[in-house]
Structure 1
Amino acid sequence: MTDPQTPDVPAPHDYNQPPAPPAYNTTPPANQPAYGQQAYSAAPPAPYGAPGNPTIPGKTMGIVAFILSFFVQLVALILGIVALVQSRKAGYPNGWALAAIIISSVLLVIGIIVGIFLFIAFGAAAAEYARLCAEFGSGVHEIGGVTVTLTCPSS
């Protein structure tokens, strides 16, 4: 309250009482939801007997095949084919299984080619070793300017 004699000076506060909270409008406008409430309703529940989240047959097996395709190509190829067939029978696409089939097939072919080259290289090395043993026998020899120690099987 102000003093009528001096209207510019406000009345002193009473420090024993807490100040009154400001008066805010706590009701939201009609077109806005109240704070903390959702503006949309929840999804309707699934019908009785229907699963809430349908599982795609072969999807898990396709993911496992995809991971294995980098390590065990033959197993991954078989699992990927089985997973893809299961998914296609149910009418679902399965990219994991398809990727596993492609990756494991490519890596399997590359592995076979590398294996063939290694077999040829080790075969040629074994043939050369056998030729040197037949020509020089066991012991230390100088062959082409290089000192070589041959340990040949006794015959």
Structure 2
Amino acid sequence: MSHPPSGESEQPQWGQPEQRWGETQPEQPEQPPSPYEPPGGAGEQPRWGQQPPDQPWGRPEQPWGQPPPYPPQGPYGQYGPPQGGGGPNTLAILSLVLAFVFAPAGIVLGHLAKRQIKRTGEEGDQLATWGLVLSYAFTVIGLLACCGWIGFAIWAGSGDGTTY
């Protein structure tokens, strides 16, 4: 293995193509000024992330000639569509909420949620169970209250018509 002469590094410099031992590098022609550069006399442009001296605050300007950084293409970006773990089943949540609002609807949604969770493997089985339990309990309490009210109405109206 041969070593480079003293004074030369083994690593190519940043931005320079790799040069093999004994090869000469062709001269690069000087690039003409870009038509997208601002007209001369302004001095060196600030690098990305640095503020120009006349702007002590604010967002750094986009360097001329470079496109702005865009997010990855596609509806889900670079990571793809979401995978599982999206939270509990929506029907299970609605079953629990409707147990307090309109219990019979909570019963229907609870059973639908249980079936859907078993089929898809989503989260929320306990929510659906609690929605069913509370919905059945509130339905039974509501039915007992209605029967009691009807019984009271019948009992109160069963008098002989005299008032005391």
TM-score (norm 1): 0.48
Name the structure with the higher helix share: 1
Structure index of larger Rg? 1
Name the structure with the higher strand share: 1
